[in-house]
């Protein structure tokens, strides 16, 4: 189907109301407050010679101060054709606040590392097989974890968090059957896996390998209930995504360099509501801060800001330059600071998020051995 680039009519709004009726909708994010304490930022290197997570202390002013490097016990990986984004994915590093765990994919060794988090220090607890070839994205909801594997047609693999660590879930593996062998490889592998906010569904974007959004129903056991509901998007390259305060899906389309909004129906189909072009190139990653969204444009080395208006509309807030090769990003829990990786230099740029949504540059750091690396978490 052809996707609209403008907000649909009242009929679309009625469809959204039906889609969201009875669904668990997360509460709106808190308004950022001044004087918040510092925290930690963790950045994955994806180094093929030995993957690692570099820890930074986040000062009250948002500045970053390196505190240590923690080996994952696995290898990073590089997809054919990639330049600044070796995994060509969003969410290769995930934080589980409930259990105090950090999850990292090791694309080059087909494993996932589990760290326990102690302030700015990490302790490696476990390294487990990813259940497929070349893991690129990981997501967690309560006691359930899913990993997205990019090669060999793509697959997802589920795990349960137990006292003994991650254990595979029976019925938690599905092959995606994508055309991941097409060239260039990095545009045809899947882009991201994530739970919906209520954990009832698992969402996968397939980029050009399937040009679709795939949604699996998740049972109470964590197992997947059958195959996915597939929403085809002819000519599109759905890459990264997040969710707004209503539970609507907000997706970057690298094919049209746009940010698109969808409602997910009870049957798992994604209903397109509208979209807004960034006017940039290689729009691939996106992060949310309250009612604002920031899309990373790797080809333009910029961030495009948007504010939610109405049910599904996005109003542009402007474009902010970054270092070369803008990729994955993270926002602090208080929504005062945004950190974005710059893959061409292996750096991280830090920004202060204004109340009007503007981004004020704080500074940047160079992450050791992280050129082309992806995966960032801000605490």
- Reported as a single tens digit per residue, the pLDDT across 79-121 is 999 999 999 999 999 999 999 999 999 999 999 999 999 999 9
Dist CA 339 CA 358 (whole Å): 14
Residues in CB range of 164: below 8 A, 6 or more apart: none
Backbone angles phi, psi at 66, to 5 degrees: -60, 135
Looking up tokens 């963790």 gives 42
Q: Considering the chain, what percentage of its residues have pLDDT values greater than 90?
A: 89
Lowest-pLDDT range, 21-30, 223-232, 279-288, 355-364?
Answer: 21-30
pLDDT for residue 122 is more than 50? yes
pLDDT for residue 6 is more than 70? no
- At 188 the three-state DSSP class reads helix
Q: Which pLDDT score is estimated for 36? A: 59
Average pLDDT (137-157) is: 98
Among 131, 286, 143, smallest CA distance to 218 is for 143
Q: Tokens representing 367?
A: 């992450």
Say which CATH topology domain 41-378 has: Methylamine Dehydrogenase; Chain H (2.130.10)
User: In what helix (H) or strand (E) does residue 308 lie, and over which residues does it extend?
Assistant: strand 302-309
Q: Which pLDDT score is estimated for 38? A: 84
Burial readout 131-146 (b: 16 or more C-beta within 10 A, e: otherwise):
bbbbbbbbbbbeebbb
Average pLDDT, the chain: 91
Dist CA 179 CA 104 (whole Å): 25
Each residue of 66-88: pLDDT tens digit? Answer: 999 999 999 999 999 999 999 99
Left if phi > 0, otherwise alpha if psi is -120 to 50, otherwise beta: which for 65? beta
Report whether 216 contacts 252 (CB < 8 A): no
Distance of CA 23 to the CA centre of its chain: 22
> Between vectors from CA 63 to CA 57 and to CA 66, what angle results, nearest 5°?
40
Lowest-pLDDT range, 31-45, 68-82, 230-244, 353-367?
Answer: 31-45
Report whether 166 contacts 155 (CB < 8 A): no
Average pLDDT (313-317) is: 93
Q: Which pLDDT score is estimated for 31? A: 38
Dist CA 262 CA 242 (whole Å): 11
Give whole-number Cα distances, 48 to 53, 74, 87, 169, in Å: 13, 9, 11, 29
Domain ranges of the chain: 41-378
- At 288 the three-state DSSP class reads strand
Give whole-number Cα distances, 5 to 63, 74, 259, 288, in Å: 37, 42, 9, 20
Dist CA 279 CA 340 (whole Å): 19
Residues in CB range of 127: below 8 A, 6 or more apart: 72, 73, 74, 106, 111, 112, 113, 114
Q: Which pLDDT score is estimated for 149? A: 98
The residues that bridge with 103 in the sheet, in sequence order, are 94, 114
The residues that bridge with 144 in the sheet, in sequence order, are 141, 160
Dist CA 376 CA 331 (whole Å): 10
């Amino acid at each position: 189907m052809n996707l609209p680039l403008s907000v649909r009519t009242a009929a679309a709004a009625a469809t959204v109301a039906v889609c969201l009726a009875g669904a668990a909708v997360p509460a709106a994010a808190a308004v950022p407050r001044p004087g918040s304490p510092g925290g930690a930022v963790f950045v994955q290197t994806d180094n093929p010679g030995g993957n690692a997570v570099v820890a930074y202390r986040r000062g009250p002013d948002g500045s970053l101060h390196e505190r240590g490097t923690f080996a994952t016990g696995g290898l990073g990986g590089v997809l054919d054709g990639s330049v600044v984004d070796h995994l060509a994915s969003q969410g290769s590093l995930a934080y589980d606040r409930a259990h105090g765990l950090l999850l990292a994919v090791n694309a080059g060794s087909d494993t996932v590392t589990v760290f326990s988090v102690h302030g700015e220090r990490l302790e490696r607890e476990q390294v487990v097989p990813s259940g497929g070839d070349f893991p690129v994205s990981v997501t967690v909801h309560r006691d359930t974890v899913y990993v997205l594997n990019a090669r060999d047609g793509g697959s997802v693999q589920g795990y349960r968090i137990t006292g003994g660590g991650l254990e595979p879930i029976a019925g938690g593996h599905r092959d995606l059957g994508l055309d991941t062998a097409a060239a260039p490889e990095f545009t045809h592998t899947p882009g991201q896996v994530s739970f919906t906010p209520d954990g009832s569904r698992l969402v996968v974007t397939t980029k050009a390998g399937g040009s679709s959004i795939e949604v699996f129903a998740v049972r109470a056991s964590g197992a997947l209930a059958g195959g996915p509901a597939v929403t085809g998007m002819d000519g599109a390259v759905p890459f990264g995504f997040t969710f707004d305060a209503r539970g609507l899906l907000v997706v970057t389309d690298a094919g049209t360099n746009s940010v698109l909004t969808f409602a997910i129906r009870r049957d798992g189909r994604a209903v397109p509501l509208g979209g807004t072009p960034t006017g940039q190139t290689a729009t691939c990653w996106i992060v949310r801060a309250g009612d604002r969204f920031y899309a990373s444009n790797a080809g333009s080395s910029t961030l495009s800001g948007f504010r939610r208006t109405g049910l599904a509309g996005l109003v542009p807030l402007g474009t902010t330059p970054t270092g070369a090769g803008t990729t994955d990003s993270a926002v602090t829990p208080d929504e005062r600071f945004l950190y974005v990786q710059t893959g061409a230099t292996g750096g991280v740029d830090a920004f202060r998020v204004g109340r009007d949504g503007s981004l004020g540059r704080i500074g940047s750091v160079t992450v050791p051995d992280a050129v082309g690396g992806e995966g960032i978490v801000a605490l």
